[in-house]
């Protein structure tokens, strides 16, 4: 069986899946380190971690199923954008409770998520033009 080379959308979704999986694992395994910097209850860290891992699994499913990816990619891009907007709102609201290193980390994560959303959108648009 010949394997086809992954297209730009599949590569972007794979990168997002990898980033989301590792972020989710950090949320689950490093709560004791994270909570002093971003004081959220452990249950929220756990829910975010599990959610990111589930999101990662969905993305991998989409990589393997291009027809499903075409139907879901717009919602994935909007989910990424919503993540960025909502975390910036939370950062602004809770700024006095969040440490400076955590603020820098949140900004870095949001830059990464924005880039992933952009690459996914570009991959989707490229496929639609074909």
Determine the pLDDT at residue 58.
Answer: 97
4 burial (CB, 10 Å; 0-12 / 13-18 / 19+) is exposed
101-112, pLDDT tens digit by residue?
Answer: 999 999 999 999
Residues 5, 118, 98: CA angle, nearest 5 degrees: 125
| pTM over 0.85, yes/no | yes
- Please determine, for residue 1, whether its predicted confidence score (pLDDT) is greater than 80: no
Only one residue has tokens 């069986």, namely 1
The whole-angstrom separation of Cα 21 and Cα 10 is: 16
Determine the pLDDT at residue 127.
Answer: 87
The whole-angstrom separation of Cα 43 and Cα 36 is: 15
**Token pair belonging to 42:** 């452990």
**End-to-end alpha-carbon separation of the chain, Å?**
24
- Asked if 38 and 102 count as a contact pair (C-beta separation under 8 A), the reply is yes
The whole-angstrom separation of Cα 21 and Cα 43 is: 18
Tell me the average pLDDT of the chain.
94
Determine the pLDDT at residue 6.
Answer: 82
21-71, pLDDT tens digit by residue?
Answer: 999 999 999 999 999 999 999 999 999 999 999 999 999 999 999 899 989
């Amino acid at each position: 069986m010949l394997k086809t080379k992954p297209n730009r959308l599949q590569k972007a979704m794979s990168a997002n899946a990898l980033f989301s999986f590792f972020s989710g694992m950090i949320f689950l395994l490093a709560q004791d380190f994270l909570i002093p910097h971003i004081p959220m209850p452990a249950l929220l860290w756990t829910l975010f971690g599990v959610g990111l891992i589930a999101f990662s699994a969905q993305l991998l499913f989409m990589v393997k199923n291009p027809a499903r990816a075409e139907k879901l990619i717009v919602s994935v891009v909007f989910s990424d954008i919503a993540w960025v907007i909502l975390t910036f709102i939370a950062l602004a609201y809770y700024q006095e409770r969040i440490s400076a290193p955590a603020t820098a980390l949140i900004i870095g994560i949001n830059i990464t998520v924005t880039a992933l959303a952009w690459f996914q959108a570009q991959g989707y648009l490229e496929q639609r033009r074909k």
